[in-house]
Amino acid sequence: MVTLSDEEKAYISSKIRSVVDFPKPGIIFKDITTLLNDQEAFSFLMNHLAKRYEKSDFEFVIGIESRGFIFGAALAALLGRAFVPIRKPKKLPYTTISEKYALEYGIDEIEIHIDAFSTAKQNPPKVLLIDDIIATGGTASAAVKLLQKINVECVEACFLINLKSLKGDEEIAKTTPIYSILEVF
């Protein structure tokens, strides 16, 4: 599959702003709004992803709330595939299936419509999971588990940024291949 050169990765990386001490002291937040605001860079990124996945055998692109919606919906449109959102609780209007996951101080949950794959031609349905960042991996791991729970095959999990030092990718990699455009250590 297609990957980016070091020069191309540097170009994408240069379009992402680092915000020190957000949302709390000691955190360097990777702000993708500057990438989204750069039409040329965003188009370059989305065209790269379209080339990478144009021949892949999946019917659906799954975006994790909320920034995964941006990349997922745009990629689904470019590929002519369906888009399905995974959301936080009580955001989807129809019957849902959920998966809980642990946070540092508590529990969170994600949901998907029970009929999200009713138009699938494949059995089991095959999907690409996409989000902007993987840090500790809680949400992404829960998304993969949620998909497995409903007998959906995740062919790959794609992230714009992988914060490697937090090792969130390691659990997902046990069951699903991962593609990270940028790896930050």
Q: How far is CA 139 from CA 87, 100, 142, 169, in A?
A: 10, 9, 5, 11
3-state secondary structure of 97: strand
**The CATH number fitting domain 6-184, selected from 3.40.50.2020, 3.30.230.80, 3.40.50.300, 3.40.50.1000:** 3.40.50.2020
Per DSSP, what are the bridge partners of residue 133?
161
> Is pLDDT at 162 greater than 80 in this prediction?
yes
Q: How high does pLDDT run on average in the chain?
A: 96
Task: Write down the pLDDT at residue 105.
Answer: 78
Q: Looking at residues 111-129, what average pLDDT do you find?
A: 97
Task: Tally the residues of the chain.
Answer: 185
Q: What is the DSSP string of 114-135?
A: TTTTTT--SSS-EEEEEEEEES
How large is the average pLDDT for residues 39-50? 98
pLDDT at 103 over 90: no
Whole-prediction pTM: 0.95
pLDDT band of residue 106 (cuts 50, 70, 90) is confident
Residue 32 has pLDDT above 80, yes or no: yes
